[in-house]
Amino acid sequence: MTHFSTIGLIGHLNNERAVYSIKRLIRFLQLRNKRFVLEAETAARIVDTDLLSAAHQIVDMDTLGQACDLVIVVGGDGSLLRGARALAKYAVPLLGVNRGRLGFLTDITPEDIENKVDEVLSGQFKSEKRFLLDMEVRRDGQVIATADALNDVVLHPGQFIHMLQFEIAVDDVFVTSQRSDGVIVSTPTGSTAYSLSGGGPILHPTLDAIVVVPMNPHTLSSRPIVVAGHSAISIVVGEHNRAEPMVTCDGHSHVDVQTGDTILIRKKPHMLELLHPLDYNFYERCRSKLGWGGHLLKE
């Protein structure tokens, strides 16, 4: 049996349904006599002083990663992305409760919170490793910005829809130059997110691979490519007229870039561990979330 001694709780900051589920989780953990820690911004959304006083600590995200051996994220995929970027370096596993819309990463439904969390605390779960991407922008040989992403790194025209010019290399080997609305560099985890809407392939989340997806390329021959997970991908920003290009990581971190800047993307050295209930199945998740067809033949 797996023993989680200290549970961390993170909730969607602007979602009353997530706050309600956090309160349910707190009451459940109290009944189980489990020690739990609240992330400070999440705690600020809970006005019930009795529930707040039951927490062992209220801490910032970094302290949460050091203090806990399991973190439960209540919200949508965006909430789990936020937790993953902050906590992956601490090797603390994450478990998701879905209070968002699509919920590819947050498995547990609100009505199953107590049952499914109880199963996980009793050691009944599946564990899966996911990797994140490191991104840095270099200008005149100097690093001017860094960020990371669990889903994707996107070069795009910023506020205005104008084509960009850029060159792509993999492991210092020139691959192609393009004129397009930008490019998405995605992990397998992110292959069911923005990359999918851009025409990229769905990758099984355990694959050691990165997908590069051009956004509305000027030539029909430009197609997504899949490269090895250990690859170093570099994108050199070419000349542009009215566009003010930008790099965005997970739709969260934004960096303005200029002609001649190099965007370097590679896999982070540490992995994220996601926990799933025992009935989790990636292909069933694709069927239910993406509307794939079910069985044609009945037994």
**Closest to 147 in 3D by CA, of 49, 245, 228, 247:** 247
CA distance 87 to 81: 10
Written as six digits, the tokens of 14 are 């602007």
Written as six digits, the tokens of 254 are 């934004």
CA distance 49 to 37: 15
Written as six digits, the tokens of 44 are 């600020």
In contact, 146 and 136? CB cutoff 8 Å: yes
Sign of the alpha-carbon dihedral angle for 51, 53, 56, 62: positive
CA distance 138 to 145: 7
CA distance 86 to 104: 19
Written as six digits, the tokens of 252 are 């969260």
DSSP classification of residue 69: S
Is 77 catalytic? The answer is yes
Q: What are the beta bridge partners of residue 36?
A: 7
* Catalytic residue selected from 77, 148, 152, 250: 77
Residues marked active site are found at 77
